[in-house]
């Protein structure tokens, strides 16, 4: 009997428990690796959340970036390069959303002026939340409609959009919250769908499993 479970790679150096839990619920096989892996062994690449991308990657000095890890930047950018060249799907979440933008020559706001609207809510010990609008006809619009709420936990954001990328979701303050590539099987979200589904599903946001399913069932089609 053939195994039709999607095989997804997450290139990281530490635990990604919430991602593993969500993807396991969606019946796929996940490999977490801190070394380069051959894209031929996988159906797709997931670039997860994490600390700030070093601004040297987009030719800037440090000006608000924190807790950077150049080795992780190198691992994830090299891995993405292999998947892009192999024509394999890539999905980015939070840091991954920003890393995709940097890969294609974009830049980041190193410390957003309105960061308090987006950062983790330490008082209530949970992700922040805000409203969004999606561009009609985009993958996000098809999944969630034109207006909806997501969680939020970041102080950086996409500034100059990378070559070939198209923004399709915006927070209520104009922050770019989702993108897709115009010709490649690549898309990303600034929010954390893995913390908006299954055991971590929230009553005040949309269901994050829908965009994860989109990655697995639509982008990773064979």
**Known catalytic membership, residue 94:** yes
Q: What angle do CA 10, 41, 98 make, to 5 degrees?
A: 30
* pLDDT in 10s for each residue of the chain, 222 residues: 446 899 999 999 888 999 999 999 999 999 999 999 999 999 999 999 999 999 999 999 999 999 999 999 999 999 999 999 999 999 999 999 999 999 999 999 999 999 999 999 888 889 999 999 999 999 999 999 999 999 999 999 999 999 999 999 999 999 999 999 999 999 999 999 999 999 999 999 999 999 999 999 999 986
Q: What is the pTM of this model?
A: 0.97
Domains, the chain: 7-219 (3.40.50.880)
The one catalytic residue in 177, 194, 197, 220 is 194
The one catalytic residue in 177, 192, 197, 220 is 192
**Known catalytic membership, residue 71:** no
**Known catalytic membership, residue 192:** yes
The one catalytic residue in 94, 168, 197, 220 is 94
């Amino acid at each position: 009997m053939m195994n039709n479970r999607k095989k997804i790679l997450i290139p990281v150096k530490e635990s990604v428990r919430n991602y593993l839990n969500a993807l396991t619920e969606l019946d796929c096989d996940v490999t977490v690796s801190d070394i380069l892996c051959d894209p031929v062994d996988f159906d797709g690449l997931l670039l997860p959340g994490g600390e700030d991308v070093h601004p040297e990657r987009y030719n800037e000095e440090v000006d608000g970036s924190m807790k950077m890890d150049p080795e992780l930047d190198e691992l994830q950018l090299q891995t993405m390069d292999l998947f892009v060249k192999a024509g394999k799907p890539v999905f980015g979440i939070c840091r991954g959303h920003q890393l995709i933008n940097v890969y294609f020559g974009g830049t980041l706001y190193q410390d957003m002026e309105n960061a308090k609207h987006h950062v983790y809510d330490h008082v209530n010990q949970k992700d922040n939340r805000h409203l969004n609008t999606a561009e009609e006809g985009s993958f996000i619009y098809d999944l969630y409609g034109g207006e909806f709420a997501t969680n939020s936990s970041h102080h950086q954001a996409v500034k100059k959009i990378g070559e070939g990328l198209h923004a399709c979701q915006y927070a209520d303050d104009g922050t770019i919250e989702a993108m897709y590539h115009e010709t490649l099987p690549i898309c990303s979200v600034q929010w954390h769908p893995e913390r908006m589904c299954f055991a971590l599903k929230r009553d005040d946001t949309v269901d994050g499993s829908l965009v994860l399913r989109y990655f697995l069932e639509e982008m990773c089609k064979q």
